Amino acid sequence: MIHKTILFCFFCLGVFAQKGDYPIQPVAFTQVHFKDNFWTPKMQVNANVTIPYTLNQCKITGRIDNFRKAAKQIPADKSTSFTFDDTDLYKVIEGASYSLQTQKNPQLEAYLDSLITIIGSAQEADGYLYTFRTMPIQKPHEWLGAKRWEKEEDLSHELYNAGHLFESAVAHYQATGKKNLLNIAIRNADLLVKTFGWGKEERFPGHQIVETGLTKLYRVTGKKAYLDLAKFFLDLRGKEGHLNQEYSQSHKKVVDQHTAVGHAVRATYMYTGMADVAALTGDKAYLSAIDDIWHDVVDKKLYITGGIGATGNGEAFGDDYDLPNMSAYAETCAAIANVYWNQRMFLLHGDAQYVDVLERTLYNGLLSGISLSGDKFFYPNPLASMGQHQRRAWWDCACCVSNMTRFLPSVPGYTYAQNQKNLYVNLFVGGTATIQLPNTAVTITQQTAYPWEGKNDITIAPAKTAQFALRIRIPGWALSRPSSGDLYKDETPESPIQLLVNGKVFSYTIEKGYAVVDRIWKKGDKVSFILPMDVRKILANSNVKADKSKFALQRGPMVYCLEGNDNTSASVMSLVVDKSAPVTASYQQDLLNGVMTLNMKGFTTQRQVGSEELVKKTTDIKAIPYYSWANRGATEMTVWIPYEETAARPTPAPTIASKSKVSGSVSNPLMLKALNDQYEVENSNDKSANFLHWWPKKNTTEYLQYDFDQTYTVSSSSIYWLDDSPWGGCRIPASYKIYYQKDGEWIPVKVINQSPIAKDQLNTIQFESVTTKAIKMEVQLPVDNAAGVIEWAVK
């Protein structure tokens, strides 16, 4: 049954390709089977830990009960927190479906069937499926309108939910051959076709993804109305009379958008949908727009890790070259969407540069989103931390958790692609795939220890002797080209890559980044090559202020970072490494489930009291792959390593504040480290270092306290306030007071002079000298906002 269903899906895809589709077709995940030491263990952890974990979280957090309440099977006393919570269950089912191709599990398959039954029971008679409206709850969620779709362009997420339902249903159908979830999706899609369109309900989705879901349904069913509806949703954006805003990419018609703006996940889901619709309809204006947007992102807005979305304000793209490290948002969902988009761009153009971005994202900014244990996650993926960033077991908004759960088992589907008699090798992963070319079926086997080693043997076994072209991607990083533009550069001399066919040197041509081996193939033919695994020091464009006088380490596709656990100086941001310093690679089986580490010499930097000169000390430095950080507790981390001491963040000089024990009324104690790190603040919205905040509290009295290492006589306090207006939730406080401890009691200081409370400058209180072992600051938060502190000094 499964085999026939897969053939049916391929048959549909092939028919549509003749009428109009991607010129290059991906080889489905169902046809690719990994057997390696990198991805296979991670997919096993996903199957054995992550999927059961997230399914259980969907149960205990009430997400499954939302459907039961909508079906009136249990009382509808309350709903979960967010109107898109239905999608978490859809995404986990999608991931579990992919996983069943790797690891058969009858018990899991049966459980999915039971969940699908529950989902189906919540569907209304006309196909509407959205638990937050259907459940007879006394107080509906505030994001809902009075009627269906009323707030779709803003907050309701009805179409967003539908999109994830469609994607889940297609994956489940392809993996199992069962139509139980697919039929639910089709009934819902038919309702959308009946409801939306020109002259009918004219609303676009506030959060994109229904577009790609509809194109997937179109490919499976052949129903063109689904494709037409996807195009309608895209073409409606930017029309007068609608909610037009950059946040949701509705500020202009999609064909008039040429730069990436707004919410990064919504944006890249939309660009992916535009690519699907462009391929299926031949809309060249769509192609022109996403081509321009791709260059805008890759040339100006892409982190070295492949992360996108520089700012937490709107989870959005920032300005050109604005790529802060500590405050980088780089959401896990955005990394996943970036892979989807770049896969489509490759299918459109057949150029390896898109797979280069896909691979960079996959091995770094995406894979960092999940812990080695499979049950802890990152929502943002910063490129620097002072220990305030830690993986979490769950979020009330769990989109990144369920998204990672669904994505990991799908990785085999990005390995190969085909176009007539062209077979593309895009990712280097040990394992076997079976691919049907026009003139023969081909079994292809890779043997490689990638990403740790560059050697790869590709064995070809056609069903019959036949001629076709094997196109092997030569990664940009292997040619000293870390990016297609000038955002990043690698000064490593380029070395030629030799290809052997059956042990003999083969003279190949390069076309769009692919080594082309076009010949008559017979069973047992072998192609061998070695990608250079030099350690590379990547430099950022001079316009990227955050990375000035710093380099990032890369070996193969892996970007590296320094973490406090591995270095004598746990304050890794104080380290400096000469740009010409030699770096050696060493594989450590017993570290982080087995990783290649990079080792070098450098020196620490520390401030001195009363001197601008830094104290420096030579030290050994170790770097680990970025994806593996934050698996051993809270510590400092940095991707970009200073090669000049002016770019380092020296450890504090021994002052009263830096030697104090810090406490306060904050939710995350790690934020307390920000107060006395002697960071030189640029302005009150400077988030390039650690900072402390009381968000989301408002109109409350909070406190911070220094317990000194001994008794001191003090007479001055200076505070630099956090104020992240206009988008953030912190403003300068309404007021604050300083107290000192005497005989176990807190006594207010006698103020001599106090500067007005203001942002972007030190706020100083001078008071009559007090002799004490502790000092405290009480802060009255504004009525409508929180407040925060970047630095607090005492003299």
For 303-349, give the DSSP string.
-TTS----BTTTTB--STT---STT----HHHHHHHHHHHHHHHHHH
pLDDT recorded at residue 7: 35
Q: In 649-761, at which residue ranges do the beta strands (DSSP E only) sit?
A: 661-664, 692-693, 701-722, 735-742, 745-748, 751-754
CB 280 within 8 A of CB 228: no
Phi, psi at 185, each rounded to 5°: -65, -40
Where would I find the beta strands (DSSP E) of 476-591?
A: 488-490, 499-501, 504-506, 509-511, 514-521, 525-530, 535-540, 550-555, 558-563, 584-588
Q: Is residue 485 pLDDT above 50, yes or no?
A: yes
pLDDT digits (tens, 9 = 90+) for 98-134: 999 888 999 999 999 999 999 999 999 999 999 999 9
Going by pLDDT thresholds of 50, 70 and 90, the confidence category of residue 711 is very high
> Residue 14: is its pLDDT beyond 60?
no
Note the pLDDT of residue 19: 57
Residue 15 confidence class, pLDDT cut points 50, 70, 90: very low
pLDDT at 12 over 60: no
Omega before 696 cis (within 30°)? yes
The pLDDT-based confidence of 650 (bands split at 50, 70, 90) is very high
- pLDDT value of position 681: 87
Q: What is the pLDDT, as a whole number, of residue 293?
A: 98
pLDDT for residue 683 is more than 90 = yes
pLDDT tens column, 340-391: 999 999 999 999 999 999 999 999 999 999 999 999 999 999 999 998 899 9
Please check the confidence at residue 9 and state whether its pLDDT lies above 60. no
In the predicted model, what is the mean pLDDT of residues 741-756? 95
pLDDT of 10? 34
pLDDT at 17: 38
> Count of alpha carbons within 13 Å of 712, Cβ hemisphere only?
18
Each residue of 449-482: pLDDT tens digit?
999 999 999 999 999 999 999 999 999 999 999 9
DSSP string covering 52-120: HHHHHHHHHTTHHHHHHHHTTSS------S-TTTHHHHHHHHHHHHHHHHHS--HHHHHHHHHHHHHHH
Place of tokens 């259980």: 56
Give percent above pLDDT 70 in the chain.
98
Inform me whether the pLDDT recorded for 663 exceeds 90. Answer: yes
H or E stretch including 603?
Answer: strand 595-608
Query: Cα dist. 285→139, 213, 278, 562 in Å?
Result: 45, 21, 8, 44
Please state, rounded to an integer, the average pLDDT across all residues of the chain.
95
Answer yes or no: are the C-beta atoms of 404 and 423 closer than 8 Å. no
Answer whether residue 689 shows pLDDT above 90: no
Q: What is the rounded distance in angstroms from the CA atom of residue 154 to the CA atom of residue 688?
A: 31
Per-residue model confidence (pLDDT) at position 543: 98
Who's near 714: CB < 8 A, 6+ residues apart? 656, 740, 769, 770, 772, 775, 794, 795
DSSP states along 669-698: GGGGGGTTS----SSTT--SS--EE-TT--
Closest listed residue to residue 775, CA positions, set 751, 744, 745, 741: 741
Q: What is the pLDDT of residue 2?
A: 35
Percentage of residues in the chain with pLDDT exceeding 90? 91
Distance CA 617, CA 605 (A): 7
Reported confidence tier of residue 316, pLDDT bands at 50, 70, 90: very high
pLDDT score, position 6: 35
Tell me whether residue 241 is exposed, middle or buried, using C-beta atoms within 10 angstroms of its C-beta: 0 to 12, 13 to 18, 19 or more: exposed
pLDDT at 507: 96
Domains of the chain plus CATH, in order, are 418-530 (2.60.40), 535-647 (no CATH), 661-794 (2.60.120.260)
Can you give the pLDDT at residue 687?
81
Residues 6+ apart with CB under 8 A from 498: 505, 529, 530
Residue pair 746/739 in contact (Cβ under 8 Å)? The answer is: yes
Q: Tens of pLDDT along 60-103?
A: 999 999 999 999 999 999 999 999 999 999 999 999 999 998 88
Residue range 161-167: average pLDDT? Answer: 98
Query: Which of these, 792, 788, 783, 790, lies nearest to 700 by C-alpha position?
Result: 783
